[in-house]
């Protein structure tokens, strides 16, 4: 009898330790949450005529605050970090105080973060630094960009400022051209096909059609994607993300305070960032974005998880080839297997990892300053069961992958639900 009681006691201790170390579906998590998301907001993405970026940001913050009635924004939020890439688009700098004024959050301290297309992902990182340093318990992070009132030539020029000026911009290179070189290198090295890239567009437009806030909410058949006009060979119209207006935000808190504001917090359990040369011509390899790969390694290590653990991911699909590279850089498949990965449906909802369930930059849109926190917004919805028709069943661990320029900035965050 005593022997049996001893066994039961030891078993109970082991079970308690198991539950402590494996709080998510039995999968080992070795790290505590870094920060918690207690709410999130997103404006409608698209051509938002007659509105300034600051008004779009108010849409995002209004949703976040309405979802979190226990939060008193002016009292509880101690700092804001706002991502925006270009002053040229609206002829407006000094973004932090500008958007906070309209959101009713003055006089808290405001900071603008800039990492090209990764600008609001760097805002998340700054929010993490602020909370983990003890300087603030609750912060607002977000991003905004108003783009569609400018013509395509102007937007292309402003975006090209995120690549090297004397050796790339000066010689006429733009991001479609740069990513086209990456695509041809990947095709040459790994036999990746134009059809495989087009399948990324087909998938993401399917997901975007399920997202009421996406810019483009329509299916695109493979034949249409393949026959669309060439932008920079091998990239065609449907291989390229949309010029979009939009804003997004998250409210981050210390993990121990999260339950004060919500019953369904989402925790950031791993975070990584790295940098690479701004010029493609300086890279040793064209078939991988090193900064994103290194950021992922750092985030996985911090979270104590592996790529196979991820249920849902928002990756930086500014061009379809970029999503294929992301599969490989994030470890969802081996280098060179990104083409077959999409071809086999592994990145669809119901596949091994659901990728860009929001529609991604490809269909949801890419208002560059807002993209990083917009990706986190989608993961927040997925992990709290609020993603509607595009909900990934049983999603427990998510990932966002945001790169700036041609991968000179790479930011990866990993999220878990309680």
Is the pLDDT assigned to residue 15 strictly greater than 60? no
CA distances from 27 to 20, 96, 298 (A): 11, 39, 19
| 117 in catalytic set | yes
Integer Rg of the chain from CA: 21
Question: At 392, is the pLDDT very low, low, confident or very high (cuts 50, 70, 90)?
Answer: very high
Query: What local confidence, expressed as pLDDT, does residue 13 receive?
Result: 36
- Alpha carbons within 13 angstroms on the beta-carbon side of residue 156 total 13
CATH topology (fold) of 35-150+241-417: Peroxisomal Thiolase; Chain A, domain 1 (3.40.47)
Cα(155)–Cα(163) distance, integer angstroms: 14
CA angle 341, 299, 344 (to 5 degrees): 5
CB atoms within 10 A of CB 175: 23
Question: At 11, is the pLDDT very low, low, confident or very high (cuts 50, 70, 90)?
Answer: very low
Task: Name the active-site residue from 186, 215, 267, 366.
Answer: 366
Query: What local confidence, expressed as pLDDT, does residue 31 receive?
Result: 63
Mean pLDDT calculated for residue range 267-286: 97
Question: How are beta strands 35-42 and 266-275 bridged, if at all?
Answer: antiparallel
Task: Name the active-site residue from 68, 117, 333, 356.
Answer: 117
Packing angle, helices 53-66 and 95-103, rounded to 10:
50
Tokens 């669809």: give the residue. Answer: 348
Mean pLDDT calculated for residue range 95-101: 97
Beta partners for 75?
none
Cα(17)–Cα(265) distance, integer angstroms: 23
Q: Is the peptide bond before 234 cis (omega within 30 degrees of 0)?
A: yes
Cα(367)–Cα(28) distance, integer angstroms: 36
Q: What confidence tens digit (pLDDT) does each residue in 21-73 have?
A: 443 434 545 468 999 999 999 999 999 999 999 999 999 999 999 999 999 99
Report whether 144 contacts 57 (CB < 8 A): yes
Q: What is the mean pLDDT of the chain?
A: 93
Question: At 16, is the pLDDT very low, low, confident or very high (cuts 50, 70, 90)?
Answer: very low
H helix runs in 162-220, sequence order = 175-190, 194-208
Question: At 353, is the pLDDT very low, low, confident or very high (cuts 50, 70, 90)?
Answer: very high
Tokens 């709290």: give the residue. Answer: 384
Question: At 418, is the pLDDT very low, low, confident or very high (cuts 50, 70, 90)?
Answer: confident
Report whether 146 contacts 52 (CB < 8 A): yes
- The pTM of the full predicted model, rounded to 2 decimals, is 0.93
Sheet with 266-275, edge to edge strand ranges: 109-113, 79-83, 138-145, 246-253, 35-42, 266-275, 409-417, 397-404, 312-314, 354-355
Query: What local confidence, expressed as pLDDT, does residue 20 receive?
Result: 39
Query: What local confidence, expressed as pLDDT, does residue 32 receive?
Result: 86
Is the pLDDT assigned to residue 5 strictly greater than 50? no
Query: Residues 299, 304, 305, 306: is their CA dihedral positive or negative?
Result: positive
Is the pLDDT assigned to residue 297 strictly greater than 50? yes
Cα(400)–Cα(364) distance, integer angstroms: 15
Packing angle, helices 175-190 and 320-329, rounded to 10:
50
Mean pLDDT calculated for residue range 178-195: 98
Query: What local confidence, expressed as pLDDT, does residue 28 receive?
Result: 47
- The least confident of 26-35, 91-100, 393-402 is 26-35
| 366 in catalytic set | yes
* Domain residue ranges of the chain, discontinuous segments joined by +: 35-150+241-417
Task: Tell me what percent of the residues of the chain surpass a pLDDT of 90.
Answer: 92
Is the pLDDT assigned to residue 303 strictly greater than 90? yes
- Alpha carbons within 13 angstroms on the beta-carbon side of residue 352 total 13
């Amino acid at each position: 009898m005593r022997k049996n009681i001893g066994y039961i006691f030891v078993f109970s201790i082991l079970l308690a330790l198991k539950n402590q170390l494996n709080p998510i579906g039995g999968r080992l998590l070795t790290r505590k949450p870094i920060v918690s998301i207690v709410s999130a907001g997103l404006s409608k993405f698209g051509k938002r005529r007659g509105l300034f970026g600051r008004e779009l940001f108010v849409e995002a913050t209004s949703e976040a605050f309405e979802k979190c009635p226990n939060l008193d924004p002016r009292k509880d939020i101690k700092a804001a970090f706002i991502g925006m890439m270009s002053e040229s688009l609206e002829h407006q700098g000094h973004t932090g105080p500008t958007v906070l004024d309209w959101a009713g959050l003055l006089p808290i301290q405001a900071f603008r973060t800039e990492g090209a297309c990764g600008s609001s992902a760097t805002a998340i990182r700054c929010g993490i630094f602020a909370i983990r340093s003890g300087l603030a318990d609750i912060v607002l992070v977000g991003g905004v960009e108003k783009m569609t009132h400018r013509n395509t030539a102007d937007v292309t020029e402003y975006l090209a400022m995120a690549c090297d000026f004397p050796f790339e911009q000066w010689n006429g290179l733009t991001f479609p051209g740069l990513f086209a070189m990456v695509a041809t290198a990947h095709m040459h090295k790994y036999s990746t096909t134009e059809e495989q890239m087009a399948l990324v567009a087909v998938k993401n437009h399917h997901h975007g059609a399920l997202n009421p806030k996406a810019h483009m909410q329509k299916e695109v058949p493979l034949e249409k994607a393949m026959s669309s006009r060439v932008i920079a060979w091998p990239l065609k119209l449907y291989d390229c993300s949309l010029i979009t207006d939009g804003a997004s935000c998250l409210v981050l808190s210390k993990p121990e305070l999260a339950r004060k504001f919500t019953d369904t917090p989402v925790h950031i359990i791993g975070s990584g960032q790295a940098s690479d040369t701004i010029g493609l011509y300086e890279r040793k390899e064209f078939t991988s974005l090193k900064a994103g790969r290194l950021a992922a390694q750092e985030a996985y290590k911090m979270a104590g998880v592996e790529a196979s653990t991820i249920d849902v991911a928002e990756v930086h699909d500014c061009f379809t080839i970029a999503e294929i590279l992301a599969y490989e850089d994030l470890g969802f498949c081996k280098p060179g297997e990104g083409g077959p990965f999409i071809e086999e449906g592994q990145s669809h909802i119901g596949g091994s990892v659901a990728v860009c369930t929001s529609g991604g930059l490809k269909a949801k849109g890419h208002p560059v300053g807002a993209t990083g926190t917009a990706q986190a917004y989608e993961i927040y919805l997925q992990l709290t069961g609020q993603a509607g028709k595009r909900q990934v069943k049983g999603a427990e661990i998510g990932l966002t992958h945001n790169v700036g320029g041609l991968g000179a900035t790479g930011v990866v965050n990993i999220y878990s639900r309680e």
